[in-house]
Amino acid sequence: MSTASPPPTRRTRFFTKVAAVVAVLALPVTGLVALAGPAQAAASATATYTKVSDWGSGFEGKWVVKNTGTTTLSSWTVEWDYPAGTSVTSAWDATVTSSGTHWTAKNVGWNGTLAPGATASFGFNGSGSGAPSGCKINGASCDGGTQPGDNPPTAPGAPSASNVADTSLTLAWTPATDDKGVKNYDVYRGSAKIATVTGTSYADSGLTKGTTYTYSVTARDTADQTGPSSGSTTVTTTGGVIPPDPGGKVKLGYFTNWGVYGRNYHVKNLVTSGTAGKITHINYAFGNVQNGQCTIGDAYADYDKAYTADQSVDGVADTWDQPLRGNFNQLRKLKKAYPNIKILWSFGGWTWSGGFPQAAANPTAFAQSCYNLVEDPRWADVFDGIDLDWEYPNACGLSCDSSGPAAFKNLMQAVKARFGANNLVTAAITADASDGGKIDKADYAGAAQYTDFYNVMTYDFFGAWAAQGPTAPHSPLTSYAGIPQAGFNSADAIAKLKAKGVPGSKLNLGIGFYGRGWTGVTQAAPGGTATGPAPGTYEQGIEDYKVLKNSCPATGTVAGTAYAKCGSNWWSYDTPATIAGKMTWAKQQGLRGAFYWEFSGDTAGGELANAVHTGLQ
C-alpha cells in the first residue's frame, strides 16, 4: 500500500530484470571471509582479491593493487578468469571489460599513478558463485602466496538440491577449475564433511523428515590443495509437518507469478528455504480484473510453464502432454507435501485494481466469474479460496475511484455468498489511518462480516516518491516524534479499524520483505533531506531484504523498525529482530496473525519467514 502518489513496487509487475546501479561508496560487511586471489610473485606490483559480501544471487568483490617496486607506476591493469556462469555486472573505480570468461580491469584517470608502497582499489558487483583464477597485474602474475606454478582450485558452484524426499536428497554443483586439474570434491553438511566424491553430484540419505540442512562443497586439486568453499544451500526434507491448530495464528506470504522470471523464484524455493513448514497460507498474486470479471493474470507462469525434475517440488519433471503445468501444478505438489497450507488466488493489486469499479457495478456477476475461474476443474483442488486486493475502494490509488462507501461491502458480500462457507474469502486493505484517509472512505466494518480476515498493508507509508525526503521508515509500527504524516503507522491503522467495528481476530499485520531508500542523504537519523531514490536491483528506491542485510546493514531503529545509512544512501526495512517485536505486539493486540510481501525478498534460508513463524508461536 502506498499513501503517496507513486505506486509501491508491491503492486508493480516485473517481467524483465533491470541491471542494478551500485553506489560507489559501499561499506564492507564484517564477518565474511576474504578470498585471496591466486597469484605468483610480481616484479613491481601485486593485486589481492576479497569477496566483500555474498547475498546468494550475487556478490560484491574488491581488488587492491599495490606498488611493491621502487619506481612510480603510471598505470595498472588487472586480469583474471572466471568460470562459466560467473560474471561482473557493474564496477566502480576501474574500467572492467571481458572477452568470454577472461576479465580485464584498467585504472581510471585519477587512480592510475602509484608511488612505491601506495595502493589503489576498485570494486564490482557480480553474479554466479565462481572465484577468480589466473590473476595478472601488468602482465605479470599477482602475489597471492600460493605454490609456484600450482594454484589451488577455484570454488565450485553452490550445490542445488533435487529429488528432495523425507529422508534423502540429491546434490549437484558446477565444477571448479584448476591449472593442474581437479581431483575430487569434499561435501559438507553444516560444518561436518560427509563425503569425498570425484564427480559433481552426491546423493545424501539417512536424513530426518521435515528437517533443514545446509550444504557446501570444496574442490581438491592433484597436489591435494583445497580451494575456497562454494556458496551454501539450505534444504528442508519433506514430511514431518504438523497441521496447526485451526484457531492458530495466520502466517501468510504472497507468491508472485512474475517472480519465476527475472527473480528466478519458484514454488520449490519455499521448500528449500524451509519456509513451507512455517506458513499457514499462500496468496498467489495476481489474477486480473477486467470488464467486471476475474481473469487470468499470466497464463504461461500460472499453468503452462514446464518444470524440469530439478526445478520441481517433488523432483518429477513436467511432460509436454500433461493437463496442468506451471505454478499451479507446483502448488498442487506443495500441498501434497504440506497439506496444512491453504492457498488463495489473489485478484487485483496496484496495477490491476482499475477493474474493480466496473465489477462493483454488478457484484453478483463478478462473483460468478471469479468462482468459475478459481474453481476451474483443471486447478480447483489447488485453491482454498479467493483474496481481493482493491487499491482502493472509493479512494485514489493508481487511479481514483468514486464507486461509493458501500461498494466494497457489496462486492465482498456477493463473493462470500457465491464461494460459500467451505472457501476462504479475504481481502488486502489500506492502512491509511489519517483523518479522512482511505480507511474512512469505505465500509470495512460492514464488509468484515463477509470476510474471513483482512491483510492490512502496514508498509509503504513513506518512500522515495517524495524524492527530497524527509527520510522515514516505510513500515513504522507506531508514531514517533517527527513522523511526516499523522496516522501513517501500523498501530493507528489497527486502532482505527477496531474503532470502526472490525474485530482484531480478523486483522493480519503486514510486513515488507524489502526496504525503501533515498540517496544524497547526510543525516543518519530519520528526517533527513535527500536528492532522490537510492539505486535498487529492480527499481529505484526499493531493494530486497536479502540484499540490504549485507550491502547496508541496519544502524538504528525507530518506531519498531530498522533503518540504515551507508555512504549517502538511507534505507528502512524490517529485520528478524524488529519482526519479533512486531509479532509480540500483534499478539498483544489480539490480531489473527501476520502476512508479508513477498517470499522472494527473503534470504535463501527464509530467515524473515522464520521470524514471523517463531514470533507468533
Helix and strand numbers, DSSP H then E, in the chain: 12, 31
How far apart CA 276 and CA 242 sit, in angstroms, is 12
Distances (CA, A) of 266 to 17, 273, 475: 16, 11, 27
Distances (CA, A) of 136 to 43, 77, 86, 142, 503: 11, 8, 18, 5, 67
How far apart CA 524 and CA 530 sit, in angstroms, is 11
Please state whether beta strands 507-512 and 593-597 pair in parallel, antiparallel, or not at all (unpaired).
parallel
Q: Are 570 and 563 in contact (CB under 8 A)?
A: yes
How far apart CA 55 and CA 61 sit, in angstroms, is 12
Place of cell 563425503: 195
Helices (H), 285-362: 299, 326-337, 349-352, 356-361
Q: Are 564 and 548 in contact (CB under 8 A)?
A: yes
How far apart CA 303 and CA 378 sit, in angstroms, is 9
Name the β-bridge partners of 213. Answer: 235
Whether the link from the prior residue into 375 is cis, omega within 30° of 0, is no
Place of cell 518506531: 559
DSSP 392-434: -TTSBSSSB--S-TTHHHHHHHHHHHHH-TTSEEEEEE----S
How far apart CA 393 and CA 424 sit, in angstroms, is 21
307 Cβ contact list (under 8 Å, min separation 6): 266, 317, 318, 325, 326, 329, 330
Q: Which of 60, 79, 375, 391 is catalytic?
A: 391
Task: Record the cell numbers describing residue 380, joined without a space.
Answer: 480447483
CA 169 from centroid of its chain's CA atoms: 25
Pick from 377, 374, 369: nearest CA to 411: 369
391 given a catalytic annotation: yes
- Which helix (H) or strand (E) covers residue 348, if one does? strand 342-348
Q: Are 596 and 280 in contact (CB under 8 A)?
A: no
How far apart CA 135 and CA 536 sit, in angstroms, is 31
DSSP 156: P
Place of cell 516524534: 481
Distances (CA, A) of 500 to 263, 393, 414, 461, 504: 40, 16, 22, 21, 11
Pick from 287, 302, 385: nearest CA to 342: 385
Q: Are 234 and 213 in contact (CB under 8 A)?
A: yes
Q: Are 527 and 482 in contact (CB under 8 A)?
A: yes
Catalytic residues: 391
